[in-house]
Amino acid sequence: MSKRRHLISIDDLTDEDLRWIVHRGTKYGEGGVVDTQPLNGDLVGLLFRDTSTRTRTAFSAAALRLGGRLITYGPQDLQENTGETAADTGEVLSRMLDVLVVRTASGDSELRAYATSRRMAVVNAMSAAEHPTQALTDLTTLTRHFGAVEGLRVLYLGEGNNTASALCLALSRFADTELHLRTPAGFGVDASFLERAAVSARAAGSRVVQRHDMDDLPEVDVVYTTRWQTTGTTKPVAHWRDLFAPFQADQSVLDRSAARVFLHDLPAHRGEEVTSEVLDGPRSIAFEQAENKYHSARAVLEWCSM
């Protein structure tokens, strides 16, 4: 069995890997890839400890389209629930599976424990810290819409969650990009991600800036938001919605920032982080973004098996 490659963080990708996955996802979306079924005969396990519509469907459909076969696990199915270590679980699964796609509310340490063997690729389909496959989807979406990522300016609103963390690491790798994070105080992107993104930004000539207000919005190409209540989390303060309310993506935000498109990783809570006017409006490409998750998943699985 050949060695497999893991995708647990955007940091696991070289610049070449990152651009290959984005380019390949774009080509899949455009119908420009010959159906060679690179996963022919492979077994792909899906372990989702939290709910998922887009990511689970995208990776399931992608694996089947690429010639793989699926084994699915629910949140209570594995013996970790009775005390087996993640490392032992990963060692066993690596002797039977070729790829394991995992969504978990815990940190990346569980995923790293699964990934001790190179016989089985491990893909982070969202952890508490980072959502790397979402960032790859976002870059694929931007490439398909604008033709390239370089030079784009993005305004991200709301919680500095795992989607925002991954976006910081990914977008900062592309030349002349700008990522403006506007997050409520106390709910911003973790400093460790901002520090890592700053290293990439210096090398690429890009910018990542976080503020905790909605004053003086920059002129951007993209406004992006996510739901305020991230899967599997709760807020430490009862009045958190009052703190988040100024960061809603409404029509005035799109107009003030002169944004050309609106992104949302979905699911959306209409009337909270975004208005229906924006989500259903002419500048929204959120549902095209959702479709691109499938195209990007095909690229990720192919990259893992190369």
Q: Could you give the strand order of the β-sheet that contains 207-211, starting from the edge strand earlier in sequence?
A: 207-211, 178-182, 153-157, 222-225, 261-264
**Cα(97)–Cα(82) distance, integer angstroms:** 22
Range 101-119 average pLDDT: 90
**Interstrand relation of 121-124 and 153-157 (parallel, antiparallel or unpaired):** unpaired
Q: In terms of Cα–Cα distance, which of 254, 263, 172, 262 is closest to 210?
A: 172
> CB within 8 A of 33, min separation 6: which ones?
24, 27, 298
Q: Which helix (H) or strand (E) holds 166?
A: helix 162-171
| Helical spans, DSSP H, in 180-285 | 191-204, 240-244, 251-257, 276-279
SS3 letters across 81-120: HHCCCHHHHHHHHHCCCCEEEEECCCCHHHHHHHCCCCCC
**Cα(229)–Cα(158) distance, integer angstroms:** 10
Ramachandran category for residue 266: left, alpha or beta (phi over 0 → left; psi -120 to 50 → alpha): left
- Residue 93 identity: L
Range 247-266 average pLDDT: 98
Output the pLDDT for position 231.
65
Model confidence band, residue 78 (pLDDT cutoffs 50, 70, 90): very high
SS3 letters across 237-260: CCCHHHHHHHHCECHHHHHHHCCC
What does the block give as tokens for 257?
């920032």
> CB within 8 A of 36, min separation 6: which ones?
none
Q: What is the pLDDT of residues 261-306, one digit of tens each?
A: 999 999 999 999 999 999 999 999 999 999 999 999 999 999 999 8
Range 7-17 average pLDDT: 98
Strand partners, 270: 274
**Cα(56)–Cα(101) distance, integer angstroms:** 9
**Cα(43)–Cα(68) distance, integer angstroms:** 6
Q: Which helix (H) or strand (E) holds 69?
A: strand 69-73
Q: How many CA atoms within 13 Å lie on the side-chain side of 143?
A: 24
268, 227 in Cβ contact below 8 A? yes
Q: What is the pLDDT of residues 152-194, one digit of tens each?
A: 999 999 999 999 999 999 999 999 999 999 999 999 999 999 9
Helices (H) and strands (E) in the chain, counts: 11, 9
Model confidence band, residue 235 (pLDDT cutoffs 50, 70, 90): confident
Output the pLDDT for position 36.
82
Set out the domains of the chain in order of their start, with CATH numbers.
10-130+293-305 (3.40.50.1370), 134-289 (3.40.50.1370)
Q: What is the pLDDT of residues 50-68, one digit of tens each?
A: 999 999 999 999 999 999 9
> pLDDT at residue 211 above 90?
yes
Output the pLDDT for position 1.
44
Model confidence band, residue 2 (pLDDT cutoffs 50, 70, 90): low
> pLDDT at residue 111 above 60?
yes
More confident residue, 108 or 291: 291
> Could you identify the residue written with the tokens 């995992």?
102
Q: In terms of Cα–Cα distance, which of 250, 183, 248, 244 is closest to 212?
A: 183
Q: In terms of Cα–Cα distance, which of 269, 302, 295, 275 is closest to 141?
A: 295
